[in-house]
Amino acid sequence: GESVGLHLPTLSVQEGDNSIINCAYSNSASDYFIWYKQESGKGPQFIIDIRSNMDKRQGQRVTVLLNKTVKHLSLQIAATQPGDSAVYFCAEKIIGNEKLTFGTGTRLTIIP
Amino acid sequence: NAGVTQTPKFQVLKTGQSMTLQCAQDMNHNSMYWYRQDPGMGLRLIYYSASEGTTDKGEVPNGYNVSRLNKREFSLRLESAAPSQTSVYFCASRNRGGGAETQYFGPGTRLLVL
């Protein structure tokens, strides 16, 4: 699910399977990264974040991986559920800076 | 806590009309932000306020003005709406200091300019 301009990438996953959503970030100076989940008609909801001094961070059913060498971020969701269906955005910033830059998002659909 | 609240939820304007989008947060956050979200795109920053009494331009400020009324409230004004401003507008807030970087978002205002 790489961001590819104006068309929202999509990913369909069978319920119960694991999903991986990818994101290429743009600024090599960014040192803070965050994943948001946005359900239809709602605002973005925080999922998990990671700082550049880490390459992996785990939450409940979610894991974020950071590869600074190739400026790549991924979100792994384990044992997907229907409620995981949403658009997922990665975002990057420089710690202390006010500006958070968003990727274009990936639409995840969980197939029952 | 209600978190970040926005009013109105929906609005239809005619070209040239003005309106103010309201945002309030009850988390005692220092920083507040206005974003717009267009189809197939991520959120783009319009304006932000790092603290009460200060505002700064973001990526797409043209056609908008903001007011940080107090620590809780941050409003976005369209003086003369244009069809290009049809979008979904999100307000967010963040607690500065102590390593807090996460922005928390409101439910959005859906604006249609005819």
Interacting residues of B81 by C-beta distance below 8 A, sequence separation 6+: B13, B14, B15, B16, B17, B18, B19, B111, B113
Chain A interface includes B2 (CB < 8 A)? no
Interacting residues of B62 by C-beta distance below 8 A, sequence separation 6+: none
Q: In whole angstroms, what is the distance from residue A85 CA to residue A12 CA? A: 9
- Position A23 pLDDT exceeds 90: yes
**CA nearest neighbour of A108 among A93, A89, A94, A92:** A89
Contact A7 B105 (CB under 8 A): no
Question: Which residues is A4 bridged to in the sheet?
Answer: A7
Interacting residues of A60 by C-beta distance below 8 A, sequence separation 6+: none
Q: What is the pLDDT of residues A31-89, one digit of tens each?
A: 999 999 999 989 999 999 999 999 999 999 999 999 999 999 999 999 999 999 999 99
Q: From the list B42, B58, B102, which residue is nearest A104 (CB)?
A: B42
- Position B36 pLDDT exceeds 60: yes
* pLDDT more than 90, % of chain B: 85
Q: What is the pLDDT of residues B44-97, one digit of tens each?
A: 999 999 999 899 999 999 999 999 989 999 999 999 999 999 999 999 999 876
Q: From the list B4, B40, B103, which residue is nearest A6 (CB)?
A: B40
Q: What is the pLDDT of residues A29-44, one digit of tens each?
A: 999 999 999 999 899 9
Q: What is the pLDDT at residue A7? A: 62
Contact A98 B33 (CB under 8 A): yes
Q: What is the pLDDT at residue B101? A: 81
Chain B interface includes A42 (CB < 8 A)? yes
